[in-house]
Chains A and B, each alone.
Chain A
């Protein structure tokens, strides 16, 4: 055997060795990845457990009354979260009623109507505002929306409905309506960004087909574009709803932190999240546990809404 051949066979066996190694010695890497996944999975479990565990004494003591009770008195109890649930849903509902039509219309306008230059500016503005911390929205609500609400909107609306629901009664500044308005402005960037995404994937063939058949632009929007982006739009709405349901600080700043079933849109209130934020600091014993029960309700509600939103947006992307 000459030296060249020896070298050759050495190289061959080295390659074989390497192939064997790469198959086996990759195990540490595989286990590193799996281990990380397992670790974070465990963190999630502990996270859910921490909320459940802290809430457990209150759940055992008060049972279903935690959800259906009509009075919430921090410190001493009773702990009935019905007013908080109502305020949470009500503020989210107000936010959606305003933000969904305005947001959808804005994304249609941004996509199809305004000149290209403004389009880029609008997109940048939307992204910029989605990054603004919620405490800033709350601050703006306190300084700018409260004066407008007390001096302009409330007298005007109360002038129409008199002292009856939903606009009557005294108005001290903080209110459920104010919280809803602040939320609507906060979720607007989310709704515009996502509905713009799902509307922009509507095939232009459909739009052009509609126009070439003689439909006007509004007809194309309402009968072609929006229906074919329907699933994704519902997804965008659900994501906005999820954000509004769980928003804590901005709501805590403007709602007045008063756990009651609102007798008017201008009365103060408190949501699940805002109550946790404002009462957790002074909470002791059973209040702490009752607040954790609120956190549990909030977790269940927002997880369900978010899961629905993801399903819808994914379906929309797959369908088109």
Chain B
């Protein structure tokens, strides 16, 4: 088959894949919008809040109290209707849910209901981007770290399959991969903070924060040690384990046997025959994990009082601030879908097997 034919086929495949992913994203976002608004339940809360506000506002006016009760109620109701309209709440929820959907998908994130950024802005975009650097600093660093450690250990395990290190590490990985980082967090706070007095209890900066940039950075680093430790220690065993499994699987393929039979040196077999086909699944997994780390970690951030996106998500949920929840989710959804698509495209271009097998 001519080369341009292949390219044509893969681009058509990619288009189809993109369309499927787009539909997936739209449906997932709509479900999220329904859930975040409690299926319209939050409307009732806002309505009663507005009514209370209006009543309070009028009750301070002495003239208002002289009016007959029906007139008072009519005025309050009128005001409630006006503020509902001003907030765009006058349409039925089902209609608004689609407006929210279009807004979310066009990244028109709008305004938060209650949460404000440190600068006082109610724009969801400002609020999220204010938290993002801290999350990336801690969780993305940690994720990169544990993926790197995990892949390295996985390679070491593959060198001597069934050996002591391999078996010990496999056992450790299976047990350690079930432990969430916040669990290690609580216990390490008790040990390293309470008993050994080595690290601070939580947060990102001392109070007051140091003035000069160097000690500022060191202060952040000092606060980062424990959460980073909890994140990495629970992350890398799983990575060592799956890297090992992927590589071991490939090393049992016929073409690896053939390469070994030809008498190629072990190092060559490893890099050219095992690592190359093993890379795509590892890269896919790494990319998706890295994307997910963007969301932070709700519980780990709560335990360490780390001011990140996970904590924001938790605050938004517990204050029923639907626009913030939707905003975080839609950014995550886009990043996820884009990553999947880019990886698909890259593999379609790079891996001959993928192009052919989908014929």
- Please indicate whether A and B come from the same complex rather than being unrelated chains: no
